[in-house]
Amino acid sequence: MSLDSRKSNHAWSGTLKSFGVGVCVFLLGSGLAVWLTVHNVHGYLAFSDDAVAAIAAALVVLFYERWRHHAIDKLRESEDKLRLLLDSTAEAIYGIDLEHRCRFCNPACLRVLGYERIDEVLGKNMHDLMHHSRADGTLYPVEDCRIHRVTQTGEGVHVDDELMSRTDGTSFPVEYWSYPQRKGQELVGAVVAFLDITERKLAQAALANVSRKLIEAHEQESSRIARELHDDVVQRLVILSLELEGVQEDIPDAASELRTRIGALGNQIRQIADDVQLISHELHSKLDHLGIVEAAKNFCEEFGERQKVEIDFQSRDLPSGLPAELSLTLFRVLQEALHNAAKHSGVKRFEVRLWGSTGEIYLSISDLGAGFDAETAMKSTGLGLTSMRERLRLVDGELSIKSQTRGGTTIHARVPFDTSSDSARAAG
C-alpha cells in the first residue's frame, strides 16, 4: 500500500471514529431522555414533565460537550503531528492556492529562502516572490511556469533544471516536486516540496571537469602516439621493406623459392605499414585542417578500404565554425560506432548521416545487421558505449540506440548548437 493510500485510510479512520463517537453520544443522550420520560410516566420517578425535559436536555448537552471537546482534542493532536512533520523535515515545503498565494510553509522553506517570519511569506504570490526568473536570467512568465501548470491541469510534476530566488536577490538551483491539492473533487491549489541542489550541481560540474580533462589528456596522448607512428614506426617499416626488396634482387634466380618468400615478407611489411598509417590517422583526427565533414568523409573512406566494407556517407546543412570540442565529439562517436558495427553486425554495408537543423547537430550510423537488445546495451558498462555517452554528455548531447535482433541497428547522436550567429553553411 502506498504512503498516500495509508494517509487516506488513516484520515477516513479518524473521521469514522469521530462520527461513531458522535452517534453514540447522541443515542446515549436520547436514550436517557426517553428512559426518564417513560419511568416518570409510570410513576417510578417524581419529576414534572418540564423537569424531565430539562434533565434530558442537560444530559444531551453534557454528552455533546464531552464529544465536542474530544473531537477538538483529536483535531489538535492531528494538527500537532502534521506541524511536527512539516517542522522536522529537511525539504522545504509550501502550499499555494490557485492564485499562487502562499497558504502555508514550513521552517525549512523560510530558511532556504532567507526569511525570518512566516508572515513575510503567507498570502504572498510565491511565483513573484521566488520563482520569477529562468536560469539564463530572463523573466519566467507565470503562464510558462510548471508549478502554475499543476494548478491548471491537476497533474503533478518533477523538475530539476530551474532556479528559485532568495529574499536577498540571489538565486540557487532547485529540484522540486509539485502536486495538486484538492478539496473533495475541487482543485484548490498545489503543494510544492523543493531542495537546494547547489552542492549537487557543483559536484556534477567538478566531475564533468575531471572527465573533460581526462578526455583532453587522452586526445593529447593519441596525437603524440599518432606522430610517433607516422614519423618513426611507419618510416622504419618502409625502410625495412625497401631493404628486403634489395636483398630479393641480389638473390640468384636459382633460389626462386627464397626470392618468393622474401617478396611475401616484403608485402606483409608494406601491409603492416599501411595499417599503422591508418591507425595513426584515426588517432589524429585531422579536424583542425579538414573540418568535421571532410574528416568524417575521409575516415569513412579509409575505414571502408581497410575493413573491406561499403560506407555510404552523406552530410547536409552543417553550420560553419563548429566548436572544436563538439566536432571532436562527433568524430570520435563516428569512429567508435563504425568499429562496433563492423565487428558485431555481420554485414558489409553501413550508412552514415551527418546533418544540422535549427539549434542541433545530428549523427547517425545504421546497418541492417544482426542487431541486439538496445535496452541492455544502454545499461552496459562497456568502454565503447561509455566513452560515447560521456563525450556527448560533456557537450550536453544525447546518445540513443535503436536495434532489433536480426533487424539492424542505428546509433543516433544529438548535440545542441546555437546557429543564430551563423549565416554560412558548410557544403555537405
Report the alpha-carbon distance of residue 10 to residue 16 in Å, rounded. 10
Report the alpha-carbon distance of residue 207 to residue 215 in Å, rounded. 12
Given a cut of 90, whether residue 414 has pLDDT beyond it is: yes
Element (H, E) at 416: strand 408-416
Give residues with Cβ within 8 angstroms of 397, minimum separation 6: 329, 391, 413, 414, 415, 416
Q: What angle do CA 396, 399, 400 make, to 5 degrees?
A: 145
Q: Give the pTM.
A: 0.55
> What Rg value do the Cα atoms of the chain yield, rounded?
39
Q: What angle do CA 60, 62, 65 make, to 5 degrees?
A: 105
Which pLDDT value is given to residue 297? Answer: 92
Which pLDDT value is given to residue 420? Answer: 54
In this prediction, residue 321 has a pLDDT band, given cuts at 50, 70 and 90, of confident
Rounded mean pLDDT, 91-95: 90
H-helix segments, 166-286? 198-228, 234-250, 256-283
Rounded mean pLDDT, 348-363: 93
Given a cut of 60, whether residue 84 has pLDDT beyond it is: no
Rounded mean pLDDT, 307-320: 91
Q: Which of 306, 377, 308 is nearest to 337 (CA)?
A: 377
Retrieve residue 295's grid coordinates.
574528416
Given a cut of 70, whether residue 174 has pLDDT beyond it is: yes
Which carries the bigger pLDDT value, residue 115 or residue 57?
A: 115
Element (H, E) at 88: helix 49-88
Which pLDDT value is given to residue 125? Answer: 95
In this prediction, residue 366 has a pLDDT band, given cuts at 50, 70 and 90, of very high
348-352 own/partner pairs: CB under 8 Å, 24+ apart: 348/308, 348/309, 348/310, 349/309, 349/310, 349/311, 349/312, 350/309, 350/310, 350/311, 350/312, 351/311, 351/312, 351/314, 352/296, 352/300, 352/311, 352/312, 352/313, 352/314
Q: Which of 331, 329, 325, 316 is nearest to 398 (CA)?
A: 329
In this prediction, residue 214 has a pLDDT band, given cuts at 50, 70 and 90, of confident
Q: Which CATH superfamily is domain 290-428 in?
A: Histidine kinase-like ATPase, C-terminal domain (3.30.565.10)
Domain 92-196 sits in CATH at 3.30.450.20
C-alpha 59 chain-centroid distance: 65
Q: Find out whether 142 and 127 touch, Cβ atoms under 8 Å.
A: yes
Rounded mean pLDDT, 374-398: 77
pLDDT tens per residue, range 265-312 = 888 988 888 888 777 776 666 777 788 899 899 889 989 988 899 999
pLDDT tens per residue, range 231-259 = 788 888 888 888 888 888 888 877 788 88
pLDDT tens per residue, range 70-81 = 556 565 655 555
Rounded mean pLDDT, 362-372: 91
Given a cut of 50, whether residue 427 has pLDDT beyond it is: no
Which pLDDT value is given to residue 89? Answer: 75
Which pLDDT value is given to residue 196? Answer: 93
Retrieve residue 365's grid coordinates.
550510423
DSSP type of residue 230 = I
